[in-house]
Amino acid sequence: MKIVHPNGTIGIIGGGQLGRMMIYRSKKLGFRFAVLDENEAPAQALSDVFIKGSLKDADALEELSKVSDVLTYEIEHINTAALENIHSKGKVIYPSPDVLAVIQDKLLQKELFVKKGLPTAPFFKEDDPCKADFSARVFPLVQKSRREGYDGRGVKILKSANDEPMSPPSIFEEMVDIDKELAVMVSRSIDGSLALFPVTEMAFNPDHNICDTVITPARINEKTAAITRDIAVSVVESLNGIGIFGVELFLDTQGKVLVNEVAPRPHNSGHYTMEACVTCQFEQHVRAICGLPLGDTTLLRPAVMVNLLGQPNSSGAVAVHGLDRALQVAGFSPHFYGKSQTRPFRKMGHFTVTSDTLEDALKKAEYVRSFLKISSITLTGETK
Q: Is residue 187 part of a domain?
A: yes
pLDDT category, 1, cuts 50, 70, 90? low
| Residue 366, domain extent | 303-376
Indicate if the pLDDT at residue 7 is higher than 90: no
In the sheet where 49-52 sits, what is the strand order? Answer: 49-52, 32-37, 9-13, 70-73
Are 276 and 315 members of one domain?
A: no
Q: Give the domain CATH number at 322.
A: 3.30.470.20
- Report the C-alpha gap between 282 and 34 in whole angstroms: 16
The answer on pLDDT for 382 being more than 50 is no
Same domain, 183 and 169: no
What is the percent of the chain with per-residue pLDDT over 70, rounded to a whole number?
97
Mean pLDDT of 133-148: 92
- The answer as to whether 111 is a domain residue is no
Same domain, yes or no, for 51 and 79?
A: yes
What's the CATH number where 21 sits?
A: 3.40.50.20
Q: Is residue 1 part of a domain?
A: no
How many structural domains does the chain have?
4
Tell me if 383 is assigned to some domain. Answer: no
Same-domain pairing of 324 and 275: no
pLDDT of residue 384: 42
Among the candidates 285, 300, 315, a domain finishes at 300
Neighbours of 290 (CB within 10 A): 24
Q: How far is CA 303 from the centre of its chain?
A: 18
Q: Do 248 and 260 meet the contact criterion of CB atoms below 8 Å apart?
A: yes
Among 174, 189, 205, residue at a domain's last position:
174
pLDDT tens digits for 152-171? 788 999 999 999 999 999 99
Cα–Cα distance, 281 to 275 (Å, whole number): 11
Predicted confidence at residue 160, as pLDDT, reads 92
pLDDT tens profile 243-286: 999 999 999 999 999 999 999 999 999 999 999 999 999 999 99
- Is residue 319 a contact partner of residue 376, using CB atoms and an 8 Å limit? yes
Give the 3-state secondary structure of residue 52.
Answer: strand
- pLDDT the model gives residue 40: 82
What DSSP string describes 177-206? -EEEEEEEEEEE-TTS-EEEPPPEEEEE-T
- For 331-377, what is each residue's pLDDT tens digit? 999 999 999 999 999 999 999 999 999 999 999 999 999 999 999 88
- Which residues does residue 41 pair with via DSSP β-bridges, in sequence order? none
Residues 288, 182 share a domain = yes
Whole-number average pLDDT of the chain: 94
- For residue 378, what pLDDT band results from cuts at 50, 70 and 90? low
pLDDT band of residue 39 (cuts 50, 70, 90) is confident
Closest listed residue to residue 297, CA positions, set 146, 196, 168: 196
Give a yes or no: residue 222 inside a domain: yes
- Please indicate, yes or no, whether residues 188 and 292 belong to a single structural domain of this protein: yes
Model confidence at 383, pLDDT cuts 50, 70, 90, reads very low
CA–CA separation, 89 and 92 (whole Å): 9
* Domain shared by 180 and 277, yes or no: yes
Q: Are residues 151 and 264 in the same domain?
A: no
The 10s digit of each residue's pLDDT in 185-237 is 999 999 999 999 999 999 988 777 788 999 999 999 999 999 999 999 999 99
Q: E strands within the chain?
A: 9-13, 32-37, 49-52, 70-73, 123-126, 141-145, 155-158, 170-174, 178-188, 194-196, 200-204, 211-216, 243-252, 257-263, 303-309, 316-321, 332-336, 341-342, 347-354, 373-376
CA angle 283, 288, 289 (to 5 degrees): 105
- DSSP code string of 308-334: EEBPTT--EEEEEESHHHHTTSTTEEE
Task: Read off the pLDDT of residues 282-325 as tens digits, 9 standing for 90 and up.
Answer: 999 999 999 999 999 999 999 999 999 998 888 999 999 999 99
Same-domain pairing of 285 and 224: yes
**In 3D, which of 169, 181, 182, 228 has the Cα closest to residue 206?**
181
Mapping DSSP to helix (H, G, I), strand (E, B) and coil, where does residue 346 land? coil
